[in-house]
């Protein structure tokens, strides 16, 4: 799995982060996490990729430590200022919060085991913001239905339901969750920039509504450590 992400690290930002779709979906996540993480908080960015989220939080005064199993991704992240980064999984220590964005947790088969390790490093009352690819997405209603599928990188991706995520993270309370990318499509869909802007506006209004939020490309859960 590490080799698969190493192979795309150098071009990841060009192919996803800096596209209209990538920006629209990430901005929707940022609007939510900016309400959760405050200046001075110590936050672990799990599955940091090229460090886009870590850099955003650091620019707001959050103290971020970013980790990723891909050495090439961490090399890209280390080029950004304002936060520390390393290759690896959940480290030791105590954090005020944790962020895992855009499907890093979808690469984990044993979600319950990882959730227990995350619970060990997030202090009671601390928040975890978890953005996972949805089990059902209106843009591709069949491919994810079985709960797992091979990705374009050749690795198996898992699509836990909301109930399964809540069960795995039993040491946390889920205080809210919203859809990310309801009308804004997955990254492989070709859509004019103006239409992405319109879709992003619809998502700001509709992607938190029951039923509709369940059809988005991703789901962002805000959890509080018990």
- 181-220: per-residue pLDDT in tens? 999 999 889 999 999 999 999 999 999 999 999 999 999 9
- Spatial distance between the Cα atoms of 215 and 186, rounded to a whole number of angstroms: 12
- CA distances to 95, 193, 201, 221 from 126, rounded to whole Å, are 8, 37, 30, 14
Cβ partners under 8 Å of residue 210, min gap 6: none
Q: Would you say the pTM of this structure is higher than 0.85?
A: yes
Q: What are the chain's domains?
A: 2-225 (3.40.50.150)
Are the beta carbons of 53 and 99 closer than 8 angstroms? yes
Quick: pLDDT tens for 85-123. 999 999 999 999 999 999 999 999 999 999 999 999 999
Burial degree of 127 (CB within 10 A; 0-12, 13-18, 19+)? buried
């Amino acid at each position: 799995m590490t080799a698969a992400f190493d192979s795309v690290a150098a071009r990841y930002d060009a192919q996803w982060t800096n596209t209209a779709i990538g920006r629209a979906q990430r901005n929707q996540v940022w609007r939510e996490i900016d309400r959760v993480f405050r200046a001075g908080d110590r936050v672990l960015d799990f599955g940091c990729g090229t460090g886009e989220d870590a850099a955003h939080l650091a620019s707001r005064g959050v103290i971020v430590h970013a980790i990723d199993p891909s050495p090439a991704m961490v090399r890209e992240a280390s080029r950004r200022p304002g936060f520390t980064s390393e290759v690896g999984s959940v480290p030791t220590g105590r954090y005020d919060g944790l962020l895992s964005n855009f499907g890093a947790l979808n690469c984990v088969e044993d979600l319950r085991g990882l959730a227990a390790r995350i619970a060990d490093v997030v202090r009671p009352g601390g928040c975890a913001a978890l953005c996972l690819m949805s089990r059902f997405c209106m843009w591709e209603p069949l491919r994810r239905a079985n709960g797992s599928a091979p990705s374009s990188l050749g690795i198996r991706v898992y699509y836990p339901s909301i109930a399964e995520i809540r069960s795995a993270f039993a040491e946390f309370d889920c205080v809210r969750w919203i859809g990310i990318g309801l009308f804004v499509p997955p990254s492989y869909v070709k859509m004019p920039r103006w239409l992405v802007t319109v879709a992003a506006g619809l998502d700001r209004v509709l992607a938190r509504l029951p039923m509709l939020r369940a059809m988005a490309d991703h789901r962002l859960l805000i959890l509080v450590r018990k």
